[in-house]
Amino acid sequence: EAGVVQSPRYKIIEKKQPVAFWCNPISGHNTLYWYRQNLGQGPELLIRYENEEAVDDSQLPKDRFSAERLKGVDSTLKIQPAELGDSAVYLCASSLRGASSGNTIYFGEGSWLTVV
Amino acid sequence: GQNIDQPTEMTATEGAIVQINCTYQTSGFNGLFWYQQHAGEAPTFLSYNVLDGLEEKGRFSSFLSRSKGYSYLLLKELQMKDSASYLCAVRDRRNTDKLIFGTGTRLQVFP
């Protein structure tokens, strides 16, 4: 069974440019997460979807970040315009009906963003 | 508030045993996860504890004490491939779909 798939794997952009990341969760997983991980830190939740509904986006910097999950499957995370401080790994993850009842959250390999 | 503490770095020798501690203070608690993350790779699930006690899974074991807000991950018979970061994550009781991660413990195994 395929895991969480993300693209692009690596991206280098100049500041003020836009960037978008794509995620395809594990088949059947209705909960999708976007996390950001800075070097030497643990992942921090940006947004969580239950199907196509964003149920927790309290830590998403809405002035420049946006996300969507049309049809409740694939998701995209966009940054516009990017700033130097956005350099990080953007991890997509998915699980069955959220993390309730011990359901494991599975991570993709991440999209490594460098803003120069 | 929510706070999860882990040592930043640890070193150990191949074949030895190492214990990675995690203490947490959260407004609610509904389970604790340990993840392994090799450099440049995604975090992968190791263990889940929701009740007090020890969960053993091969060379890896995880312990939880809810009253003390404490967990540890025990790695036995260390191998070079165990060199990685180990992330402790707590599930929020009020928002059971949200995992709060610690900063991770970077473990280096030497021959």
Please list every residue in chain A whose beta carbon sits closer than 8 Å to the beta carbon of residue B4: 42
**CA gyration radius, chain B:** 13
Residue B27: its pLDDT value, please?
76
Residue A96 in contact with partner chain B when CB distance is under 8 A: no
What integer best gives the mean pLDDT of chain B?
92
Question: Does residue B2 have a pLDDT over 90?
Answer: no
Collect contacts of A1-7 with beta carbons under 8 A, ≥24 apart.
Answer: A1/A26, A1/A27, A2/A26, A2/A27, A3/A106, A3/A108, A4/A92, A4/A93, A4/A94, A4/A106, A4/A107, A4/A108, A4/B42, A5/A108, A6/A90, A6/A91, A6/A92, A6/A108, A6/A109, A6/A110, A6/A111, A7/A111
Residue A26 in contact with partner chain B when CB distance is under 8 A: no
pLDDT band with cut points at 50, 70 and 90 for residue A112 = very high
Residue B93: its pLDDT value, please?
67
Kindly state the percentage of chain A with pLDDT values over 70. Answer: 95
Rounded Cα distance, B63 and B74, in Å: 8
Q: How far is B83 from chain A (nearest CA, A)?
A: 15
Residue A56: its pLDDT value, please?
86
Give the chain A residue nearest B87 (alpha carbons).
A42
Residue B1: its pLDDT value, please?
58
pLDDT tens-digit series, residues A48-93: 998 999 988 988 999 999 999 988 899 999 999 999 999 999 999 9
